[in-house]
Amino acid sequence: MSRRTMGLTTVFGLLLLVTLGGILYHYLTGHHYPASPAMSFELNVLGDLYEAFFLVPVGLVGLWAMRRGSTWGPPVIAGVAANFAYNYAMLVTGRQNLWIFLWTIKLALAGTAVCLAWNLLPKGPRRPSGAGLAIAVYLALVLVMFSGMMGQRLLASATGRTVDMTMRGAGALDWGEPFLRDPIVFFSLTCPVVVAAVLGVRRGTDWGGRAASLSSAFIVSIVTVILFTGPLKEQLQKGSVSAAMARMSAIMVLAAAPAVWSLFWLVKGDPRLPAHRTAAGS
């Protein structure tokens, strides 16, 4: 295992360890995360469940793949780390108590893991291709769709209103709520990476392929957050899922499905795979 790979696995492994330690401490002490009554269930119940039973196990699969030398290790780790970074970028600027120290550590570790994973991500084939153009078009469409949703939410909060993920009114504006930072984090952190992917992957550039790999892994990862905090939350709290939430969830799953194909294509076409190295040598 190279020094660069060792650095990534160390930082990411520490992120998973800190996450599990925080969940255990939360469970044993009952010292809750800071949240309004409306957000308490999402942060103090669903948040731990999501991280303990989805993010951490998937992250461990990524570490296992890295140890085996699989090309799948870096994108899995990058997708999970980007998920952590995205969510905690919202949380650290919301309501605070002493959990802010752990949240800041998790954000720092997650951001560092994404940076360390960058040069290890699949670059895809080093030439323009029809599949690369299809990925660029898909990511551009996803960018437009999510930008429209996030733009509406940003406009709502800027004009003193709030809307939930189904674009329905969600009560009085409270700047302590972390979800109000969702559009800001999206436009400042996610958009630049997706734009880089759209511009670069169709040309067969290394940076375009890496950006497309990170974008695809992130899209799949972040849709799981939406499913946890959307339909699952409604089902557990109300015993049913509203028609608007069901439609929105179906749209999100359909929107994320091509990202899985995109990631498979980029990994398969990466020139660092043994088959490509053998072909190059012959």
pLDDT tier, 277 (very low <50, low <70, confident <90, very high otherwise): very low
Answer whether residue 281 shows pLDDT above 60. Answer: no
What is the chain's percent helix, strand, coil content, to nearest 5? 75, 0, 25
Sign (positive/negative) of CA torsion 137, 138, 142, 145? positive
Q: Is the pLDDT of residue 278 over 60?
A: no
pLDDT at position 170 is 66
Mean predicted confidence (pLDDT) in 234-260: 90
For the chain, what percent of residues have pLDDT higher than 90? 61
- Looking at residue 37, the DSSP 8-state letter turns out to be T
The 3-class SS string of 68-135 reads CCCCCHHHHHHHHHHHHHHHHHHHCCCCCCCHHHHHHHHHHHHHHHHHHHHCCCCCCCCCCCHHHHHH
Q: Tell me which residue of 164, 146, 268, 154 sits closest to 219, measured CA to CA.
A: 146
pLDDT value, residue 270 = 74
Mean pLDDT along residues 213-220? 96
Between 169 and 44, whose confidence is greater? Answer: 44
pLDDT value for 272: 65
Cβ neighbour number for residue 92 with a 10 Å cutoff: 17
Prediction pTM value: 0.90
Q: C-alpha distances in angstroms, 178 versus 88, 103, 198, 201, 224?
A: 9, 13, 29, 33, 18
Phi and psi of 280, rounded to 5°?
-65, -40
Q: CA–CA distance from 45 to each of 35, 91, 228 (Å)?
A: 11, 15, 11
- For 105-140, how does the pLDDT look when each residue is reduced to its tens digit (9 = 90+)? 999 999 999 999 999 999 877 777 888 899 999 999
Has residue 275 got a pLDDT over 50? no
Q: Encoding tokens for residue 252?
A: 């999100």
Summary mean pLDDT of the chain: 89
Do the Cβ atoms of 183 and 45 come closer than 8 Å?
no
Tell me the average pLDDT across 80-101. Answer: 95
